[in-house]
Amino acid sequence: MQLDHRASPKALAAAIAASASARKWQNRGFSCDLMCDTDPNEANAGTASRELNDMAPEFLTLFKTSQIASGMVVSADVRGLRVAVANIGGTYYAFDDTCTHEQCSLSEQGELAHTTITCTCHNAEFDIRTGKVLAPPAVIPLKVFRTRIDGDLLQIEI
């Protein structure tokens, strides 16, 4: 099975599932015309597994750590998404900058108190560690991102 490394993870998963399905039908004596270019006895599962492992989480650099003072929230555009990063005493938390209530910017309209950010537009509160809604009117949690420090660079997992 040939996997296109440029394909999205979703597309790769679909291709692998389709290939597994095709092998199942071959094994039952049916022919197929979908991704049956490999010997079903070949260790395709191992190949697919190795290729998926090549798709290790991708970390993107957003800021230098020196650009985010403790207690501060900053934001950056990441592939069409506005991501906010907060520095809480040297621990960095990354989350969707857009409030899930009515889309106010949390880096601009948010007030940070330890790991709780309050959207001052209508006072929804979120836990920036988990994205969990702590107070309405928002009901949908924020998306959060893993962070890591590489030297003096703050990176988030995409």
Length of the chain: 158
Taking the C-alpha atoms of residue 124 and residue 131, their distance in angstroms, rounded to an integer, is 12
Site string (58-97) toward ligand FES, x via CB under 6 A: ----------------------------------------
Binding to ligand FES in span 103-132, by CB under 6 A: 104, 119, 121-122, 124
- Give backbone dihedrals phi and psi of 11, rounded to 5 degrees, phi first: -65, -40
- Residues in a beta bridge with 91: 88
Taking the C-alpha atoms of residue 26 and residue 37, their distance in angstroms, rounded to an integer, is 11
Tokens of 39: 């010997």
Number of residues that bind ligand FES (CB under 6 A): 10
Among 16, 75, 101, 155, binds ligand FES (CB under 6 A): 101
Applying CB under 6 A, does 138 fall inside the site for ligand FES? yes
Interface residues toward ligand FES, by CB under 6 A? 99, 101-102, 104, 119, 121-122, 124, 137-138
